[in-house]
């Protein structure tokens, strides 16, 4: 990753460790169950979880595979993941500091690689995907989830500006067609996709990243003036003296071609 964005990721998520450890979306979000269902992890697999955060994906898969390495850029998140693993008696999960764009592992090391709700922080998307493919064994499985945006370029720019105002370490959310193309170009053959919508209460969403009151007002004003193309995605509604809005997420399972 670029050094500037890497530092922002570490600063944002170092301060937000506890919020992400208890976040329902991250710990028990619908996409996690779907990912498990579609991947069908096997008992003998070696697994790598990239951008693990508080470890929710690694924790969910650990009892289904032989061993999990959970990686992240933020030491506080890794400590929280290790703490949660210990509290659950999971002895086959280890944590390791690593940059998604320069993974410190040998080629063909893992049967499964997961990356859930982290990809939008990676400034060099193709490089990260290339690393995913490099460390997977031939025939290995990628289990991926991230937010997605509409394919309209101007609307996508507005969407990403909204996300970046809330979280300065945000880089870019892509439309599904772009993600699929990048995976295919890296030799990762998409086998299944599942799209879903998830609703957030605005203040809880903003407070997880310690957004200032002034920036909250800017975000609310942006939501009042969203482009027409984003209305089906955000679907904002005002109720009970707050605002609720949605984000789109996709689960993708892909397999690395045989050598």
Average pLDDT over residues 20-47: 82
Please say if the pLDDT value at position 6 is more than 50.
no
Instruction: Write down the pTM of the prediction.
Output: 0.90
Residue 143: which of 233, 72, 60 has the closest Cα? 60
Q: CA-to-CA distance for 204 and 19, rounded, in angstroms?
A: 10
> What's the whole-number average pLDDT of the chain?
92
**What residues have CB less than 8 Å from 36, skipping those under 6 apart?**
60, 61, 64
10, 74 contact by CB (below 8 A) = yes
Q: Give 237 or 8, the one with higher predicted confidence.
A: 237
User: For 73-196, where are the alpha helices, taking DSSP H only?
Assistant: 75-87, 125-135, 153-166, 176-185
**Domains of the chain, each with CATH number or no CATH:** 3-199+247-256 (3.40.50.150)
Could you tell me the two tokens for 189?
A: 């053959």
Count CA within 13 A, CB hemisphere, residue 115. Answer: 28
């Amino acid at each position: 990753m670029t050094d500037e964005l890497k530092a922002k990721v570490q600063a944002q998520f170092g301060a937000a460790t506890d919020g992400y450890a208890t976040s329902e979306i991250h710990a028990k979000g619908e996409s996690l169950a779907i990912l498990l269902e579609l991947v069908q992890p096997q008992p003998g697999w070696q697994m790598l979880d990239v951008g693990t955060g508080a470890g929710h994906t690694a924790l969910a898969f650990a009892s289904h595979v032989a061993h999990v390495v959970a990686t992240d850029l933020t030491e506080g998140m890794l400590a929280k993941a290790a703490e949660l693993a210990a509290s659950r008696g999971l002895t086959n999960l280890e944590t390791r500091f690593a940059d998604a764009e320069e993974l410190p592992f040998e080629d063909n090391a893992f049967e499964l690689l997961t990356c859930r709700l982290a990809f939008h922080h990676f400034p060099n998307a193709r490089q990260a995907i290339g690393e995913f493919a490099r460390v997977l064994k031939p025939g290995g499985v990628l289990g991926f989830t991230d937010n997605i945006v509409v394919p309209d370029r101007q609307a996508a720019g507005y969407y990403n500006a909204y996300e970046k105002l809330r979280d300065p370490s945000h880089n870019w959310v892509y439309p599904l067609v772009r993600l699929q193309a990048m995976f295919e170009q890296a030799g990762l053959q998409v086998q299944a996709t599942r799209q879903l919508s998830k609703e957030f209460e605005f203040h809880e969403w903003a407070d997880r990243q310690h957004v200032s009151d002034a920036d909250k007002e800017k975000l609310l004003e942006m939501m009042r003036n969203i482009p027409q193309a984003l209305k089906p995605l955000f679907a904002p509604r005002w109720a009970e003296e707050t605002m609720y809005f949605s984000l789109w997420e996709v689960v993708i399972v892909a397999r690395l071609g045989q050598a």
